[in-house]
Amino acid sequence: MKKRSLSPGEMAKGRNTFYIFTIFNVIAYYSVSGNIITLYALRLGADNFLIGLISSFFYFGTIFILLGRFLTKRMGTVKQMGIFWLIRYMFMIPLLSAPLLNYFHFTNSILIILIFCTLGFNISRGFAMSGYNPILGSITNNKLRGNFLGKLQIIEHTGNLAVSISIAFLLGGSSPSYIYTIFFLVGIISGIFSAKIIFKMPESKNEISNSKENLYTVLKDALKEKTIKNFLLNNILIAVLITMVAPFLIVYMKTVYHQSDSSIVFFTMAGSMGAISMALINSFLIDRLGAKPLLFYFTGALSIALIPLLISPSIDSSTGIWSLALVVFFLHNMGVFGTRNSAQVYFFKAIKEDQRYSLGVIYMMSEGLAGGVGSLLGGIILVNLQKYYSPNPIEVYRLYFGLIAIFFVIVLFKVNKMESLGAFSVRHTMSLIMSPRDLKAINLLNRLDKVKTIEQEKETIKAIAKSKSALSTQELLHHLKSPRFTIRAEALSALTRLPEDENISKALISDVKNNTNTTAYISADIIGIRGLQSGIDILRKQLDSTDFFLSGKCMVSLARLNDRSSILRIEEIVKSTTNARLVIHGAAALEIFHNITSIQILLEKLEKKTAPFLRDEIILSIAGILNIGKWFYPIYRIFLEQSSDGIATLQDYINQSNIEKSILTQMTIVIEEVLVKPRTEFKKNIEILLQLIPDKKISQILYDVVNNSHLESLDRLYFLITASCIRLLTNVAVTNKKITEPFSKL
């Protein structure tokens, strides 16, 4: 039976605890391991092979993750990690004897102790790391994981930068070796304290139960999945190549450009800045764009960092050397930690939750073994190149880094072929990163994850809508599931501004189908606005919905989609309903269709007593069907405010037109009689003009109106008839001068 995962509150508490653990662990790690160990080993006389060997311990230590897995069944992930994290730093205590051994000139003994301590340090890490990935997985989810890992990276590399600055100033140009011992002491104390914090982490029962799975079976099943198989292979290749470079950058700068320990530390500070830049980029982008494109770009950064190394230019000035070194270390560390961070996010995305523990072990072991092989292989190759190829270190490193650069290019192609897992394409990602609009949208989406009130949520969604970025689509679709109507409505409104997307279409159709009396009418409206032909069927079905908001929007949207088979049903609804909203929307739909025969349906609604606002809507829809709506509307507004001004505006219009004088005189007579009752003279005079209209269907409809006794009292309608007749005749007069011929025969 599957055990309960951590609650959101437990997950949040776990993340906060992990942040504190990371702060102290960073101080500890960079004070007793990494670059400072390499510098110390070089001071003790270690060669390329020993540097590669010591560096490989970090990676080969991951083998013990497999043994640690068996302990997890009894101890749990948190307890196991805490205990072995404590043991890890206690393994470094013998190094504190270095000043005493150095005093008695036992330098070789110090090197042996260094090898022993770093080996035990990394073996203990292997046992502890059995719980690392499962703990990270249990306190995050897919939505938060990238941002969380990015923040961890920021903490880690900011701490590394601070430690590096301290090391740089304390080491100086010719610092005594006991300074290293001070750093080791600080690291051991900080490490023990970080181990204490681990015990405060919440334990997920899921991870303990999953630790009982057969690892071989899990791996065998996982490798049947193309996505996981390709990822693991590419990650192994990247790990090998990284570790063939990373440990030897310091050796390269000391051997080729003869830089001091303190200068090297400043270079590593540039590396920390690169890693911090990576963390800021990842925490901002990875949850929105996906892990694959960022994995590609960070692998690209590693490739670019090798270019100065394979050239290895002869530089005499210290400024030139520093410029080269700072660029290389910055790009290299950005690439190293960027690929690790992106790969970890990709890994969690690619696997199922119940695979997290066992595949996590495989993931870390494979990466560790690859790293160990890379470190040892790098050392062996460099020693042999110097022995058999050239004693000149510049020539050796040019060839060495050139070969690695070729393999990085191959890996780039392989990464590009990995499954996207919902991420944007590599090419599309670059265009998004270069777009201020999309970057703004990403910032707003990140802000949306942190809102705490409905008002903040609504305002942020409004801002996202204004960005018009396609990046917003998935997040807005997610907010269609909000329990708040106002949030769902705001999200729907925002979707109208985004580019077409199949997921949007499906969501809108589903909303029309399932959410009557709430947001369905908004979605129906959007389907029409966006011209989604796939929505026609559901709009037809909902024409008869008891939700009259929805029914009305369905009529208008079907008209926008030019679904002419719906005209008869819309006419029936308009004819039979007494609901003003349905009449208004039905009239608007018939106006969009421009179906002349629909005018009769609208006129029938005017025969009965209706509210003035409804009468105006119908009259304006009739004007739209007659194709004079845009011209008529401003004149009609003037007429409603002051009828005499509306009549005068019509008179001005015909006076400015190029129409034959006799017709103009007849129009003037009709205009003057439009409000005169009884309408006997008006009917007689307008019928003369109606006979001149070439479109006999329109002419007959207007003729029927003026002869319908039920409509005689409607001044507004008679103003429409007069304006329609004038507009239609003046339009014809512009293109057909023979209009005067039938008039002269009357």
CATH for 523? 1.25.10.10
Say how far residue 660 (Cα) sits from the centre of its chain: 65
How far is the C-alpha of 744 from the C-alpha of 746, rounded, in Å? 6
Question: Are 444 and 463 within 8 A, CB to CB?
Answer: yes
pLDDT at position 568 is 94
Do the Cβ atoms of 472 and 443 come closer than 8 Å? no
The predicted structure's pLDDT at residue 573:
94
Which of the listed residues 398, 430, 462 is the one where a domain comes to its end?
Answer: 430
Give me the DSSP letters along 70-108.
Answer: HHHHHH-HHHHHHHHHHHHHHTTGGGGGHHHHHHTT-HH
Q: Indicate if 28 and 58 belong to the same structural domain.
A: yes
Q: How far, in Å, CA of 328 to CA of 448, rounded? A: 37
- Count CB atoms within 10 A of the CB of residue 491: 26
Is residue 498 in a domain?
no
| pLDDT at residue 145 in the model | 67
Distance (Å, whole) CA 418 – CA 98: 49
Given a contact cutoff of 8 angstroms between Cβ atoms, the answer to whether 727 and 631 are in contact is: yes
Would you say 45 and 107 are in contact if contact means Cβ atoms under 8 Å apart?
yes
Token pair 């401003």 in the structure block, residue: 634
Q: Are 260 and 390 in the same domain?
A: yes
Question: Are both 192 and 315 inside the same structural domain?
Answer: yes
Main-chain dihedrals φ then ψ at residue 728, nearest 5 degrees: -65, -40
Instruction: Tell me the per-residue pLDDT of 71-103, one tens digit each, with 9 for 90 and over.
Output: 777 778 888 888 998 999 999 898 888 777 776
> In whole angstroms, what is the distance from residue 81 CA to residue 75 CA?
9
Could you say which residues of the chain have pLDDT below 50?
1-3, 734-746
Instruction: For 507, list phi and psi in degrees, rounded to 5.
Output: -65, -40
Neighbours of 501 (CB within 10 A): 15
Q: In this structure, are 592 and 658 located in the same domain?
A: no
Residue of 469, 464, 465 lying closest to 437 (CA atoms)? 469
Residue 272 included in any domain: yes
Diameter of the chain measured on Cα atoms = 133
pTM summary value: 0.63
In a domain, 546, yes or no: yes
Residues 471, 468: Cα–Cα separation, whole Å: 9
CA distance 17 to 15: 5
DSSP single-letter state for residue 355: G
Q: DSSP string covering 562-594, please? A: T-GGGHHHHHHHHHH---HHHHHHHHHHHHHHT
pLDDT, tens digit, 9 for 90 and up, residues 105-125: 776 787 888 888 888 888 888
Domains held by the chain: number:
3
522 contacts 494 by C-beta, under 8 angstroms: no
Which residue, 400, 430, 460, sits at the end of a domain? 430
Q: What sign does the CA torsion over 483, 486, 490, 496 have?
A: positive
* DSSP, res 590: H
Same domain for 686 and 615? no
CA distance 7 to 25: 26
For residue 462, which of 439, 441, 436 has the smallest C-alpha distance?
A: 441
Residue at 509 is within a domain: no
pLDDT of residue 571: 93
What secondary structure does DSSP assign to 372-424, as a single string? HHHHHHHHHHHHHIIIII-S-HHHHHHHHHHHHHHHHHHHHHHHHTS--TTPP
Task: Evaluate whether residue 463 is within a structural domain.
Answer: no
Look up the CATH number of the domain holding residue 404. Answer: 1.20.1250.20
**The two three-digit tokens of residue 261, written as one number:** 């320990």
526: in domain: yes
Give yes or no: residues 64 and 111 share one domain: yes
Q: Is 739 found in the same domain as 687?
A: yes
How far apart are the C-alpha atoms of 14 and 124, rounded to whole Å?
23
What distance in Å separates the CA atoms of residue 433 and residue 289, rounded to the nearest whole number?
Answer: 9
129 close to 68: Cβ distance less than 8 angstroms: yes
412 Cα distance to chain centroid: 23
215 and 68 share a domain? Answer: yes
| 8 Å CB contact between 19 and 151 | yes
| Residue in the structure block whose two tokens are 């906060």 | 16
pLDDT value at position 744?
Answer: 37
The first and second tokens of residue 374, run together, are 């890379």
Residue 3: inside a domain, yes or no?
no
| Contacts of residue 67, Cβ cutoff 8 Å, sequence gap at least 6 | 126, 127
Residues 253 and 183 occupy one common structural domain: yes
Question: Does one domain contain both 619 and 653?
Answer: no
| Any domain includes 136 | yes
Number of H helices, E strands in the chain: 39, 0
Residues 6+ apart with CB under 8 A from 183: 31, 32, 36, 167, 170
Whole domain around residue 568: which residue ranges? 517-625
Question: Domain end: 415, 430, 445, which one?
Answer: 430
For residues 741 and 648, state if they share a domain.
Answer: yes
Pair (613, 664) in one structural domain: no
Give the angle subtended at the CA of 208 by the CAs of 207 and 209, to the nearest 5°.
95
Distance CA 80, CA 85 (A): 8
